[in-house]
Amino acid sequence: MALVVSINKRILQEIDCHTEDPAVKELARVLLQFEMENWKMERVSFRKYFEKQIELRCRKRLSSK
């Protein structure tokens, strides 16, 4: 589990270095957290969850412009 946490922290650092978009940063954190919590479970609907989160962040981003 420590390796997964380390990898996810590295991914978030890379995202922070390459974008200033708060919606992208928030989405990355939410998706990585979900993945960390559910990676051992069978039949977790990652796709549905990811699509829902992306849609929510896109709506939030559009409404803030």
Domain segments of the chain as ranges: 2-64
Tens digit of each residue's pLDDT (9 = 90 or more) over 20-29: 888 888 888 8
Tokens of 58: 């896109």
pTM, rounded to two decimals: 0.65
CA dist., res. 65 & res. 51, Å (int): 21
Comparing CA positions, the residue from 50, 47, 3, 53 lying closest to residue 23 is 53
Top pLDDT among 7 and 4 is at 7
Comparing CA positions, the residue from 26, 33, 31, 61 lying closest to residue 49 is 31
